[in-house]
Amino acid sequence: MRKIEIYDTTLRDGAQSEDVSFSVEDKLRITQKLDDLGVHYIEGGWPGANPRDAEFFQKARKLKFKKAELAAFGSTHRASLKVHKDPNVKELLNAQTPVLTIVGKTWDFHVKEALRISYQANLDIIYNTVSYLKKRVHKVFFDAEHFFDGYKANPGYALKALEAAVSGGTDCLVLCDSNGGTLPHDVERIIKNVLNKFETPIGIHAHNDSECAVANSIIAVNLGATQVQGTINGLGERCGNANLISVMPNLKVKLRYDCITIEQLKKIKDVSRFVTEIANLRHFKRQPFVGDSAFAHKGGIHVSAIQRHSATYEHIKPELVGNYQRVLVSDLSGKSNIIRKAKEFNLKIDLDSPKIAQIISEMKQLENQGFQFEGAEASFELLMKKPFGLHRKFFELIGFRVIVEKRNEGEACLSEATIMLKVEGKPEHTAATGHGPVNALDNALRKALEKCYPQRKKVRLIDYKVRVLAAGVGTSAKVRVLIESGDDTHKWGTVGVSENIIEASWQALVDSIEYKLLRG
């Protein structure tokens, strides 16, 4: 079984998607999910491009990886500078990652029109950058930008660009369909020619502008490529990148390649939905393998057939990718998903208990209201604990009031929250200000609880996201609030849903506090 390395670029290429912006904390959480999924390389970003990526790499040094290696991305050195004096090259090395991925021009059109240098100068730049970095880090991958377009325009020059990277010592030649317009038959023809000329391992980096990125990636692997680059859910510039959520099951289940394990593959739906929630996007119901509709059957001969044998209308067993079969007339849910979550949370519960069905029923009702628990694992853990008596109510809300006041046109709004709780049987009445109404409410809640529960002081609110759930109803629409909290050792997500953004925020804040207090 041939080994195929999965290279994830969600945090860099995926972050270039329209409407997607990852905070540093978002990127750290996604990194840990990707490592748990079993990908081999995680491209964290371009440290020379912006302060956010530089901060990410600094914080990522503290992460403990099970398997993945972290990669930093950058370009070949500028034509006007020596490689050792280029600030972007310096930033790459400052990232202190074991892997560096360097993008260089292989299309003569780009060399002439974008770089405006001689063809030989570009080849020298590729060689200089790769060789300089290879002496200083464990692995250097060369992303041959616009390779397929470059090969079609001038195959001799495109191959010379690869030769320059090989001479520099690159560990992998990654052939990029940067414009995403190459069709599978051309990918096949060109890769065969490359494989005949180079012994260096090759990879594939396909964009999806012609809806061929997954197909092109699979063709490349079948021909001999050993590395596939892509993103979770196909996020990326313009129409996106090759969708690893589709690539990995096809490679593992259909083609029997050694990429990730069967047990890791079962996590792929959770990872897909986690990234969607963190990116603050809507889940795509019809996404292959992991979408809600991927194994859904509505009626007639389909339902009759799958009840006899699922293979009649399902190309794989949904459990292989963490999904489950649904018959839409009864909307069957997956008990196996609940059982798997109980094991993840290390909950000592009776897995044959009828209370499992109660959890499923409540989860369905909440999801119908707009709740989503991907990215809000703490809220889901609390939901599972309550029927089994593993949850404790630490305080009771008597009431709260939040005031937002703007006194002058040029001044910032003032936010103040007043809250009344019953804590350990005693009333607590506090007030606090904050940078916005939610921050004021959070501060007031902290003050009310700090006497009885001093461990609450260690909790900090790391991130706050709001999603409008229904379009077309304006300011009366329901919103979903996702809060990420953390202490010195742990991070967790909670969720709230309401037509009132303050009420939704309150729900998520309460879950965050109760989760921490239950953990101790």
Q: Give all domains of the chain, ordered by start, each with its CATH number.
A: 5-278 (3.20.20.70), 395-519 (3.30.160.270)
Q: Does 476 score more than 80 pLDDT?
A: no
DSSP state of 331: T
Average pLDDT (231-238) is 98
Residue 6 has pLDDT above 80, yes or no: yes
pLDDT in tens, 102-158: 999 999 999 999 999 999 999 999 999 999 999 999 999 999 999 999 999 999 999
**Cα separations (Å) of 75 from 140, 233, 448?**
12, 25, 52
pLDDT digit string, tens, across residues 16-46:
999 999 999 999 999 999 999 999 999 999 9
Type of residue found at 101: T
Quick check: 332 pLDDT over 50? no
Average pLDDT along the chain? 92
pLDDT in tens, 364-423: 889 889 998 878 989 999 999 999 999 999 999 999 999 999 888 888 899 999 999 999
CB 206 within 8 A of CB 217: yes
SS3 512: helix
385: Cα separation from own chain's centroid = 27
Instruction: Answer whether residue 288 shows pLDDT above 50.
Output: yes
Predicted pLDDT at 331: 39
Per cent of the chain over pLDDT 70 is: 96
Distance of CA 92 to the CA centre of its chain: 22
- The sign of the torsion formed by the CA atoms of 431, 433, 438, 442 equals negative
- Residue 330 confidence class, pLDDT cut points 50, 70, 90: very low
Percent of the chain having pLDDT more than 90?
Answer: 76
* pTM to 2 decimal places: 0.81
- In order, the DSSP letters of 380-448 are HHHHHHGGGT-----EEEEEEEEEEE--STTSPPEEEEEEEEEETTEEEEEEEEESSHHHHHHHHHHHH
Average pLDDT over residues 305-332: 79
Given a cut of 50, is residue 86 above it in pLDDT? yes
